[in-house]
Amino acid sequence: MKISCIQMDMMFGAADENFEHAKRLIRAAVQNGPDVIILPETWNTGFFPRENLPRLCDTDCTRVKQELGTLAAELHVNLIAGSVSNVREGRVYNTACVFDRVGSCVAQYDKTHLFTPMGEHEYYTPGDHLCRFSLDGTECGLIICYDIRFPELTRSLALSGAQMLFVVSQWPQARVEHLQALVRARAIENQMYAVCCNSCGMAGETKYAGASVIVDPWGKTLAQAAEHEEVITATCDMAVVGDIRQSINVFCDRRPELYNV
C-alpha cells in the first residue's frame, strides 16, 4: 500500500480558501501514484477559531463529502480526508471522513479525546465510537491528534484487527518530540504501520510542527517531512505486519486478566 501524506499549511478560519488549497494539493499528490492520500486535522478552519466557530464549520460533513468524496472518485484514490470542524445537530465536532476509490464514505469518526489545555472541550463535543475500516483489503484504524496519548485507544483498534494506523493532527512545534515518540511507540507496541499527517505553519501565536511521518511495525521511519508544506510518500509492505506478529507474538503473550484499564 502506497501512502502519501499532505502536510498542509492552512489559513486560519478561512474554509473556502482551505477547501480549494486542499483540492489542489490532492491533485498534486496523486501524481505520485499513491493508493491512499491523507490530510491533517481541522484543515477547513485551522485549530481552532473560537469566534463564530459554528458559522465556519462544515454541516454534517456535507461539503467534505460533496467535494472531496467526488474528487476521490474522480482520481480513483482512497482518501483519508483529515478532519474538519463540523456542526451536527447543533453541536460542533472534530470529524474525520474516509473515502474509498469510488468516493463512498466508508468511515466517519469524531475525535474522542479533546485537548483540554487549549479549551477544545469547551467548543467541541467528544465522539463516542472507535474508527476501523478497510481500504483495498487492508484493515485500518483512525485517530485524531491528542488521541495518540491514550494507548488504550490504539490497542483496541489493533485487537480488533487493524494493521494500519492513520493519525491526523495539528501538533505544535513546542511538543514535536512527543509526537515523534508517540507515533513510533504506537507502531512498535501494536506491530502495525503508523502514518501521521500533521499540519505546519502558524495559527495565531502557535507554530505547528510539520514532521509528518510514516513508520513501519519495527519502528523504522519510511518517510519524514520537515517543517514546511510538502507531501511525503512511502510504500508499506503489509506482509511485514504478519511477519512481526508471528516472530514476536505480543498479542498471544498478553495477560489481559491482570490489566485494570
* pLDDT on residue 260: 87
- Give me the catalytic one of 97, 105, 145, 197: 145
Q: What is the pTM of this model?
A: 0.98
The secondary structure of 156-167 as a DSSP string is HHHHTT--EEEE
- What b/e readout covers 132-161, taking b as 16+ CB neighbours within 10 angstroms? bbebeebbbbbbbbbbbeeeebbbbbbeee
The runs of H, that is alpha helices, within 37-150 are: 53-56, 62-63, 70-75
45/223 Cα distance (integer angstroms): 27
* pLDDT on residue 183: 98
The runs of H, that is alpha helices, within the chain are: 15-29, 53-56, 62-63, 70-75, 151-159, 176-190, 239-247
Q: How far does CA 18 lie from the centroid of its chain? A: 17
Q: Which residues pair with 138 in a beta bridge?
A: 135
117/196 Cα distance (integer angstroms): 22
Q: What are phi and psi of 208, to 5 degrees?
A: -95, 150
- Give me the catalytic one of 5, 57, 111, 197: 111
Whether 111 is catalytic: yes
- Contact in structure between 7 and 200 (CB atoms under 8 Å): yes
Total residues found in the chain within this entry: 261
* pLDDT on residue 165: 99
- Give me the catalytic one of 5, 41, 57, 61: 41
Sign of CA dihedral 62, 68, 70, 73: negative
258/184 Cα distance (integer angstroms): 25
Beta strand pairing call for 36-38 and 2-7: parallel
- Contact in structure between 238 and 1 (CB atoms under 8 Å): yes
Whether 41 is catalytic: yes
Whether 145 is catalytic: yes
* pLDDT on residue 204: 84
Q: Mark the ranges of the chain whose per-residue pLDDT is less than 50.
A: none
